[in-house]
Amino acid sequence: MKGVDGQMTGLWTRSTPRSLRIHAHRAAAVATMVALLGILLASGGVAAPAPDTAVIVQGADIVTLEPMFSQSLPDQNAIIHIFETLTRFGDDLTLLPGLAESWRLRDARTWEFRLTPGRRFQNGEPLNAEAVRWTLMRGKEFFEKKLADVQYAYNLLDLDTVEAVDDVTVRIRTKSASPILPLHMAHSQTAPMAPRYTAQTPVNTLERRPIGSGPYRVVEFVPNERVVLEAWSEHPRRPQIRRLLFRPVPEDATRLAELAAGNADIIVNVPPDLIPQVERNRAARVESVPGLRRIFIGLRQDRHLALRDKRVRQAFNYAFDCATMMRNLLAGKGECTGTVANVPDQNPAVKPYPYDQRRAAALLDEAGWRMNPRTNVREQGGRALEMGFDCPRGRYIKDSEICQVIAADLAKIGVKTDLQIFDWSVYVGKSARRGAGFRDIYLLGSGPGFSCQADLALVQKNSGSNRSLFDSARFEEIWDELDLAFDVKKRRDLCHKMQEVIFDESPLIFIWFQTDIYGVSQRLVWKARVDERIRLHDSRFR
């Protein structure tokens, strides 16, 4: 348009009226924008996920696929599709056969597992008793040398020796009696690994290209971006979905947008207040399930005199209006509880404490804490019923809001709290050394122990996770009995009894089993599991 010395040429000249030039500029700008949008639209926009690929959008990156090097949930969700374990948990957490078709107790310290014959790893190596022995001894060695991330699993396993009796029989001997060893065999850190491949492959490669025996094998691992798994055609139970794509998206709103746009089939951690947003989308639905993470308020026994009195602890539970909180704060997506044992060990007779402020007040009166009408705070011998209340923010669903509700409920019965809310990175330091950094009461969550005894260790006197420093003779007596019980029914009865004791003694304010909330595309047939694992072995597209 411009000639020598900037003179306008062609149709657009200096003699062109100014208004016309302005119109031309505007028209050109609009045309450019329309053209850009047109190019985007013409490019076909964003490709929807392939019809044979399920897209799982998690909150964090997958770091490793090597089962012994991982404890994080995003890793585990991929690992459980690549590896199999000797036993596994069903949807209701009952123990089911995995690679082992049966198991039996030989003596108090020895278990024998019989493997399904003829199984192979994805690279053709035989999956036999020797492979199981090799894997467990590798884990034991890592544990003893403090390598990898096996500390938790192999500490519980307490392995002594592992023997391959024949091609399909493995004998596992522990250092002490281990009634729940088959439960530990469902942990992915005990998943058999292909010995030859694993021994010959550098760790970096193992982390990205592991060889398992599961229904999927790894086809792509782009760190921080995506992991793609493909159905393994030689697996005895070939899955119906051909490909699984795992992607990390840390921001809640972005994950929801991916679901709304049809780019995701499963998104994790939908905040309760955003559930209506998912439900408005006809192509998606909400799947929620009470998880295994116990959320509670610990009541320290070693700091405030009042908390040593069972009646005060019970009063705190009666004063907490849990049901209203569930309805208003957590969109009704949770259930209050009166226990800290997970399914399937929960005692059905133990119900949540009812909301009863009058009963709470009566218990405090009975314990000698009388209301001062001037301050609305209870007192005993001139000492006010005041306590420090510590709470994390951003670690559990609505954690700081739950604390505020409980502080308000306690205030109604004359208990004054000094609530302090901390970022999780600070809070976690307070929780160390059996909660040495906590003041009188504190909110905490605890993941599943996958056995009644491990779950109830939260209040066992010698347990590191007993941050309330609770010590009950009644409870310890049953605990010791359980230590030596192998009979399944007897173990369950003892477990139920312990829950009754805990309910009565109230070393905690019971809150809930944190609900796991997922957004799921309507095309996917999938149900949320209580153990937070996203398992797609039996899923399919509609």
Partner 1 sequence: MLAYLARRLAQMLVVVFLVSAVSFGLLFLSGDPTEIMLGAAADVMTQEQIEEFRRARGFDRSWPVQYLVFIAHAARGDFGDSLRHKRPAFEIVWERVPATVQLGTVAFLISVGVGIPLGVLSATRRGSTVDAGAMLVALLGQSVPSFWLGIVLIMIFGVYLHVLPISGRGSWLHLIMPGLTLAAFPLARNARLTRSSVLEVLHQEYVRTARAKGVSEPGVVYRHALRNALIPVVTIIGLQLGFLLGGSVIVETIFAWPGVGRAIVSAIGDKDFPVVQAGVTMLAVTFVAVNLAVDLLYALLNPRIRYT
Q: Which residues bind partner 1 (CB under 8 A)?
A: 2, 5-7, 37, 40-41, 43, 45-46, 60-61, 63-64, 69, 72, 148, 151-152, 155, 204, 223-226, 247-251, 253-254, 257-258, 260-261, 263, 423-426, 428-434, 437, 463-465
Name the residue nearer to partner 1 (CB basis): 38 or 124: 38
Q: Least Å distance between CB 405 and partner 1?
A: 25
As measured in angstroms, the least distance from the Cβ of 64 to partner 1 is 8
Q: How far is the CB of 30 from partner 1 (least distance, A)?
A: 13
Q: Estimate the crossing angle of helix 357-366 against helix 310-319, to 10 degrees.
A: 160
| DSSP output for 212-267 | -SSSEEEEEEETTTEEEEEE-TTSTT--S--EEEEEE---HHHHHHHHHTT--SEE
* CB-based contacts of 132, cutoff 8 Å, min separation 6: 86, 99, 113, 115, 162, 164, 170, 192
Other Cβ atoms within 10 Å of 412 Cβ, number = 13
User: In the bound complex, what is the minimum distance in angstroms from residue 255's beta carbon to partner 1?
Assistant: 8
Q: Which is nearer to partner 1, 156 or 524 (CB)?
A: 156
Between residues 20 and 261, which has the closer beta carbon with respect to partner 1? 261
CB of 51 to partner 1, least distance (A): 17
Tell me whether residue 246 or residue 518 sits nearer to partner 1 (CB atom): 246
CA atoms within 13 A on the CB side of 91: 9
How far apart, in Å, do the first and last CA atoms of the chain sit? 58
Cα(451)–Cα(115) distance, rounded to whole angstroms?
A: 23
**Of the two residues 310 and 434, which places its CB atom closer to partner 1 in the complex?**
434
Q: How far is the CB of 106 from partner 1 (least distance, A)?
A: 27
Which residue in the block uniquely carries the two structure tokens 């119109």?
Answer: 23
Q: In angstroms, what is the minimal distance from the CB of 69 to partner 1?
A: 6
Is residue 281 a contact partner of residue 260, using CB atoms and an 8 Å limit?
A: yes
Least spacing, CB of residue 254 vs partner 1, in Å: 5
CA distance linking residue 233 with residue 31, whole number of Å: 52
Distance CA(419)–CA(4), nearest Å, equals 76
Nearer to partner 1, 269 or 380 (CB): 269
Question: Which of residues 242 and 434 has its CB atom nearest to partner 1 in the complex?
Answer: 434
Phi, psi of 327 (to 5 degrees): -70, -50
225 Cβ contact list (under 8 Å, min separation 6): 247, 248
Q: Tell me how far apart the alpha carbons of residues 125 and 196 are, in angstroms, rounded to a whole number.
A: 8
* 88 vs 184 by CB, closer to partner 1: 184
Cis peptide before 223 (omega within 30 of 0): no
> Which residue, 152 or 486, is less far from partner 1 as judged by CB?
152
What sign has the CA pseudo-torsion 413, 416, 422, 428? negative
Looking at the DSSP bridge assignments, the partners of residue 243 are 53, 230
Q: Answer for the pair 341, 516: CB distance below 8 angstroms, yes or no.
A: no
Q: In angstroms, give the least distance from the CB of 98 to partner 1.
A: 25
Nearest to 210 by CA among 141, 121, 130: 121
Closest approach, Cβ 268 to partner 1, in A, equals 13
| Closer to partner 1 by Cβ: residue 258 or 531 | 258
